[in-house]
Amino acid sequence: MKRGVFDTLKRGFDDNLANWPLIAIRIAQMVLVFAMVIGGMLAMLVPLLLSVGIRVASLHSPESFESAMEALLHNPLLFIWLGVGLFVLIGLLIAIGAFVEAGCARVYVDAERAAGPAVNGLRARFHLFNMQRFLAGATSGWWPVFWMYNLIWSLAALILLVPLAITAVLMFLTRNNQPLMIVFGVGGLLLVIVLAIPLAIVTGMWSNRAVMQWTIDRAGTGAAISASWRAISHDLPRHLGVAACMLVIAFAASSVAGSFGFFAAFAQAAGRDNAFVPLAMMPLRFFSQIVSIACSAAVTSWYAASFAALTVESPR
How far is the C-alpha of 48 from the C-alpha of 81, rounded, in Å? 8
Q: pLDDT (tens digit, 9 = 90+) per residue, 40-84?
A: 888 877 776 666 555 554 555 566 556 666 666 666 677 787 888
Q: pLDDT band at residue 313, thresholds of 50, 70 and 90?
A: confident
Q: Please tell me the distance from the alpha carbon of residue 166 to that of residue 82, in angstroms, as a whole number.
A: 29
Over the stretch 212-222, which tens digit does the pLDDT of each residue have?
Answer: 999 998 888 99
pLDDT score of 45: 76
What is the Cα–Cα distance from 98 to 33, expressed in whole angstroms?
Answer: 13
Q: pLDDT tens-digit profile of 172-194?
A: 888 888 888 888 888 888 999 99
Which is more confident, 42 or 162?
162
Tell me what the pLDDT averaged over the chain comes to. Answer: 86
Q: What proportion of the chain, given as a percentage, has pLDDT over 70?
A: 83
pLDDT digits (tens, 9 = 90+) for 80-112: 878 888 899 999 999 999 999 999 999 999 999
Taking only the tens place, the pLDDT of each residue in 222-270 is: 999 999 999 999 999 999 999 999 999 999 888 887 776 666 666 566 5
pLDDT at residue 127, rounded to an integer: 93
3-state SS of the chain? CCCCHHHHHHHHHHHHHHCCHHHHHHHHHHHHHHHHHHHHHHHHHHHHHHHCCCCHHHCCCHHHHHHHHHHHHCCHHHHHHHHHHHHHHHHHHHHHHHHHHHHHHHHHHHHHHHHCCCCCCCHHHHCCCCHHHHHHHHHHHHHHHHHHHHHHHHHHHHHHHHHHHHHHHHHHHCCCCHHHHHHHHHHHHHHHHHHHHHHHHHHHHHHHHHHHHHHHHCCCHHHHHHHHHHHHHHCHHHHHHHHHHHHHHHHHHHHHHHHHHHHHHHHHHHCCCCCHHHHHHHHHHHHHHHHHHHHHHHHHHHHHHHHHHHHHHCCC
The structure's pTM equals 0.85
**Range with the lowest mean pLDDT among 16-20, 29-33, 66-70, 107-111?**
66-70
* Mean pLDDT score, 270-288: 66
Q: CB–CB of 177/205 below 8 Å? A: no
Q: CA 149 to CA 101: how far, in whole Å? A: 11
Query: What's the confidence (pLDDT) of residue 256?
Result: 80
Torsion sign, CA atoms 119, 120, 122, 123: positive
CA R_g for the chain: 24
Compute φ and ψ for 11, nearest 5 degrees.
-65, -40
What does the pLDDT read at residue 131? 95
- In the prediction, which pLDDT does 81 show? 78
Give the Cβ contact number of residue 215 at 10 Å.
26
Q: Which pLDDT belongs to residue 99?
A: 97
What share of the chain has pLDDT > 90, as a percent?
Answer: 55
Q: What is the pLDDT of residue 58?
A: 54
**What is the model's pLDDT at position 223?**
93
What CA–CA distance (Å, rounded) separates 6 from 238?
9
Task: Please state, in angstroms and rounded to a whole number, the distance separating the CA atoms of residues 199 and 156.
Answer: 7
The mean per-residue pLDDT over the stretch 283-310 comes to 88
pLDDT value at residue 287: 77
Provide the residue ranges of all domains of the chain, joining segments of one domain with +: 5-313
Q: Note the pLDDT of residue 236.
A: 92
